[in-house]
């Protein structure tokens, strides 16, 4: 989205590079992960091993944009800030995984935290577990490790269904929802009416966010997106500014002759 999106290992601090190199070279490879026991066993069963926790973060100063009081509009400065900062965090996490020689990252969480850094500052953090295939390479066509916010369970299920994750796709839109005019509020008083301009604002921003996510998936070469989540949040901007954020995992089909195992039916007797 912006030209200064980092690429290559040059963006990682020296400390991080040294640590990752040590992790890759040492005789006895110690892995770290935030997987639960069940996730860990499933990942092993799917033919992968965890390599290490990978993290990327960016502390970002979000700029300022004036808003028209009575206008529904996207706040492009804020949209770009939120996207760019997430992208920075994600690409740093991907870079860490790449340095470890991972095939991909699973269980990625993208968090936005407003710690006490100061006004207008937020920390964007991406964290996940880098995994490596014990068999054939699972790196997608673009050569970088795949990223995915699927849990160990979902990852296992996806692989068994014959699909492979390509990467996380996301889209966002920060939107200013217009205030009502006095005449509008007078008309609505004591009436059941739809507030068309509010509905319109939600539609606009949600559609923009989803469309951007889909464009990203198409650019990545994904055939579809699974586990999409759409969040509406106001990151401390006041009541009339909202962000729609949609995120999911882009997937492609693996081999055409893949057979999906027949699931067994279970009727649990618990309530």
Partner 1 sequence: MSRHLHLKALGQVAGSCVMHAAFYPGWLTNSWGNGDIRPFTLAITTARQTAIDRLMAEAEMLGAHGVVNCRVEVRYPEWGSGLSEFTAFGTAVAFEGQPAPTRPFMGGMSAEDTLALFRAGYIPLTLSFSSTAYYVMTTWQANYSETSWTNQEVPDFSRAVYEARDFVVGGLRAQAREVAADGVLGAQWHMSVDEIDVERPAMGGWGGGYGSGYGMGYGTMQSFRDHIVHLTVIGTAVGRLDGKHPVPAIRPMVNLADHPPDIDPGSGESGETLANTEAAPVEP
Residues near partner 1 (CB under 8 A): 12-13, 15-16, 19, 23, 28, 30-38, 40-42, 44-45, 50, 53, 55, 57-64, 77, 80-81, 84-85, 88, 113, 115-121, 123, 127, 150-151, 153-154, 156-157, 160-161, 226-227, 229, 261-268, 270
Cross-strand bridge partners of residue 253: 163
Q: Which residues have CB under 8 Å from 40's CB, separation 6+?
A: 33, 50, 152
User: Hey, how many other C-beta atoms are within 10 angstroms of the C-beta on 117?
Assistant: 13
Alpha-carbon span 258 to 185, nearest angstrom: 59
Three-state SS annotation for 84-122: HHHHHHHHHHHHHHHHCCCCEEEEEEEEEECCCCCCCEE
CB 184 to partner 1: min, Å? 32
CB nearer partner 1, residue 194 or residue 262: 262
Contact 247, 110 (CB under 8 A): yes
CB 5 to partner 1: min, Å? 11
CB nearer partner 1, residue 84 or residue 212: 84
CB nearer partner 1, residue 116 or residue 194: 116
CB 13 to partner 1: min, Å? 5
CB 9 to partner 1: min, Å? 14
Task: Residue 139: name the closest of 170, 100, 169, 171 by CA.
Answer: 100
Torsion of CA 136, 260, 170, 69, to 10 degrees: 180
CB nearer partner 1, residue 48 or residue 144: 48
CB nearer partner 1, residue 42 or residue 178: 42
Backbone angles phi, psi at 53, to 5 degrees: -70, 130
CB 224 to partner 1: min, Å? 9
Alpha-carbon span 165 to 225, nearest angstrom: 9
Quote the tokens at residue 237.
């901007």
Which run of H or E residues covers position 38?
Answer: helix 37-45
CB nearer partner 1, residue 17 or residue 179: 17
CB nearer partner 1, residue 43 or residue 201: 43
Task: Residue 15: name the closest of 88, 85, 96, 90 by CA.
Answer: 96
CB 42 to partner 1: min, Å? 6
CB 30 to partner 1: min, Å? 6
């Amino acid at each position: 989205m912006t030209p200064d999106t980092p690429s290559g290992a040059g963006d990682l601090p020296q400390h991080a590079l040294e640590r990752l190199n040590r992790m890759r070279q040492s005789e006895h490879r110690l892995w770290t992960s935030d997987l639960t026991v069940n996730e860990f066993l499933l990942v092993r069963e799917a033919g992968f091993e965890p390599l290490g926790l990978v993290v990327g973060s960016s502390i970002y100063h979000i700029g300022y944009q004036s808003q028209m009081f009575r206008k529904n509009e996207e706040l492009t400065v804020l949209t770009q800030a939120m996207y760019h900062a997430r992208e920075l965090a994600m690409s740093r996490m991907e870079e860490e995984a790449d340095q470890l020689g991972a095939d991909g990252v699973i269980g990625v969480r993208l968090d936005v935290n407003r710690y006490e850094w100061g006004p207008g500052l937020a920390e964007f953090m991406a964290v996940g577990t880098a995994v490596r295939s014990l068999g054939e390479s699972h790196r997608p066509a673009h050569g970088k490790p795949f990223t995915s916010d699927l849990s160990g369970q979902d990852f296992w299920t996806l692989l068994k269904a014959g699909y492979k994750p390509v990467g996380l796709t996301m889209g966002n839109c920060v939107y200013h929802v217009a205030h009502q005019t006095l005449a509008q509020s007078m008309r609505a008083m004591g009436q059941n009416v739809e507030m068309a301009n509010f509905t319109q604002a939600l539609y606009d921003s949600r559609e923009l966010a989803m469309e951007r996510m889909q464009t990203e998936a198409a650019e990545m070469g994904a055939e579809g997106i699974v586990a999409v989540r759409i969040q509406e949040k106001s990151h401390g901007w006041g009541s009339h500014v909202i962000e729609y954020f949609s995120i999911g995992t882009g997937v492609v089909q693996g081999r055409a002759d893949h057979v999906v195992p027949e699931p067994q039916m279970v009727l649990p007797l618990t309530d």
